[in-house]
Amino acid sequence: MGWIGEQIDSVKSMQFRQLFTQAISLGMIVTSALIIWKGLMCITGSESPVVVVLSGSMEPGFKRGDILFLHMSKEPIRAGEIVVFNVDGREIPIVHRVIKVHEREDTGEVDVLTKGDNNFGDDRLLYAQGQMWLQRHHIMGRAVGFLPYVGWVTIIMTEQPLIKYVLIGALGLLVITSKE
């Protein structure tokens, strides 16, 4: 009870300028995070340089909750690469391995077939209706490195939005009421 009273007193005693400064520093933190994210997008050449593994289709290599670092270069797509791709009509990107490549002699375009290591069949079931192959424009990046377990934070926040709001609320409160 006394702690709540102290918090209310500290909120009341703040002047407008102090509040404004706090709000600006919060804005700066958010903006620099955004700059780092966009910078990573430029460096890796990929729309999302970091993805979280959501399903168990690549086990035991990648488990749910791992994060993958992506990189997209102009190098042609070859069998064995682990690629992240979007299927038309699905919003969640899929991370699977390329098992077949057919590259056209004349245009240089490729037809690619993928499969999750832990799945029995290839990904034709996941592609859009009538689609048998992926083309280069479907592919967002290749996985080049990974960190285990770190992605659980994102999974928890996505699947239990209550925790996300509680965290952001607590952070906001901390920023407002801190004395520095």
The residue ranges that bind other proteins (CB under 8 A) are 60-62, 78-82, 97, 99-105, 108, 111, 115, 117, 122, 143-148
Q: Are strands 110-115 and 50-52 parallel, antiparallel or unpaired?
A: unpaired
Torsion angle of the four alpha carbons 41, 127, 121, 60, in this order, in degrees rounded to the nearest 10: 20
Catalytic (active-site) positions: 57, 96, 123
Based on CB atoms, which residue is closest to other proteins, 22 or 117?
117
Rounded to a whole number of angstroms, the minimum distance from the CB of residue 20 to other proteins is 24
| 109 contacts: CB under 8 Å, gap ≥ 6 | 103, 135, 136
Rounded to a whole number of angstroms, the minimum distance from the CB of residue 171 to other proteins is 12
- Compute the half-sphere exposure of residue 160: CA atoms within 13 Å on the CB side of its CA: 6
Based on CB atoms, which residue is closest to other proteins, 161 or 172?
172
Based on CB atoms, which residue is closest to other proteins, 89 or 130?
130
The region, left, alpha or beta by phi > 0 then psi within -120 to 50, assigned to residue 149 is left
Based on CB atoms, which residue is closest to other proteins, 117 or 164?
117
- Please report where in the chains the tokens 């239990």 appear, as a residue: 160
Residue pair 79/99 in contact by the 8 Å Cβ criterion: yes
Rounded to a whole number of angstroms, the minimum distance from the CB of residue 86 to other proteins is 22
Rounded to a whole number of angstroms, the minimum distance from the CB of residue 103 to other proteins is 4
Q: Are strands 82-85 and 50-52 parallel, antiparallel or unpaired?
A: unpaired
Nearest C-alpha neighbor of 29 from the set 41, 37, 18: 37
